[in-house]
A and B are shown apart, each in its own frame.
Chain A
């Protein structure tokens, strides 16, 4: 893939990828983290969960050993299916067991604030 055409996977929580969220855009790139709840070997579709939110992830292009109960991170593009459900077409993924998930979520918020702060400085 040409490096100039690739978009960074925006940091989001699974709760922010529901149909009513402004993030819910066809083709948008995201980086997601969740615990693997189930995995269908036939379709290569995994379901990851974070609290009360869940997301389907298409892992067909990944060579990753997926173990239910482990924490995974995926980067890919959101595809919105005809029933308005989202599925992430993962380009890359990795096992992140051992991640301090609370620190991850807090730091994600900090990074967003920092980005907004820097954008304000640059436009003022």
Chain B
């Protein structure tokens, strides 16, 4: 079972315990299971905007605070220079739209790559959705527990 390209649903305390793999520090592991992408839902509790560069924010899901970064520099970054201008503009527009949704106190669902920054694991966000249904957070908690017990723990190489 390979969950490397799946957006795994993890409770914040579980996400924050991910560690870089020895073979590749840009890749992360949970009890030996290699992961690169995650999805989480939480309340936005901090927000730091650097226009044209990035939006750093934190989501609190009740078990921990997950740091997130949403890049806003697509139009000026050399990382995107080989892509077609129209697709870069489209990505930049989406990112700006996501940034406007992320306000203090709202509940958001974020998906993205698991990355590291200054020794802490974080999500580099690719997708944001506002969750207005108050039950969404509860259903996410249930999903996280069920998936950890029935799937992620079963396929870790550290036997549980």
- B46 near A1: Cβ-Cβ < 8 Å: yes
Q: Which of A2, A7, A62, A98 contacts B135 (CB 8 A)?
A: A98
Contact of A44 with B by CB under 8 A: no
Given A3-B56, A111-B145, A115-B63: A91 and B45 interface contact (C-beta under 8 Å): yes
Known contacts A3-B65, A6-B65, A111-B145: does B138 contact A100 (CB below 8 Å)?
yes
* Residues of B in contact with A (beta carbons under 8 Å apart): 11-14, 17, 43-46, 48, 56-58, 60-65, 67, 104-107, 120, 133-135, 138, 141-142, 145, 148-149, 160
Chain B binder among A8-16, A18-26, A47-55, A81-89: A8-16
Residues of A within 8 A of B120 (CB): 4
Asked whether A31 lies within 8 Å of B60 as measured between CB atoms, the reply is yes
Determine if A8 and B46 form an interchain contact, defined as CB atoms under 8 angstroms apart. Answer: no
Shortest C-beta distance, B40 to chain A (Å), equals 12
Within 8 A of B (CB), among A94-115: 94, 96-100, 103-104, 107-108, 110-111, 114-115
Q: With A75-B43, A92-B105, A104-B138 in contact, do A111 and B11 touch (Cβ < 8 Å)?
A: yes
Q: Are A110 and B138 in contact (CB under 8 A)?
A: no
A6:B63 contact, CB within 8 angstroms = no
B135–A8 CB distance below 8 A: no
Chain A residues with CB below 8 A from B134, complex form? 71, 73, 94, 96-99
Are A114 and B58 within 8 A (Cβ)? no
Contacts A111-B141, A118-B14 known; 14 new A-B pairs at CB < 8 A:
A3-B65, A8-B12, A8-B63, A9-B62, A11-B62, A94-B106, A94-B134, A98-B133, A104-B138, A107-B141, A110-B142, A111-B145, A115-B13, A115-B63
Give chain B residues whose Cβ lies under 8 Å from the Cβ of A115: 11, 13, 63
Residues on the B chain within 8 Å of A62, using CB? 105
**Residues of A in contact with B (beta carbons under 8 Å apart):** 1-4, 6-11, 31, 62, 64, 71, 73, 75, 91-94, 96-100, 103-104, 107-108, 110-111, 114-115, 118, 121-122
Contacts of B58 on A, CB cut-off 8 Å? 3, 6
CA distance A118 to B160 in the complex (A): 10
Of all chain A residues, the one with the shortest Cβ separation from B160 is: A121
For the complex, give the distance between the alpha carbons of A61 and B120 in Å. 29
Given contacts A1-B46, A31-B62, A75-B43, is CB(A107)–CB(B12) below 8 Å?
no
> Chain B residues with Cβ under 8 A from A64's Cβ?
105
Provide the bound-state CA to CA distance between A103 and B104, in Å. 26
Report chain A residues within 8 Å CB of B142: 107, 110
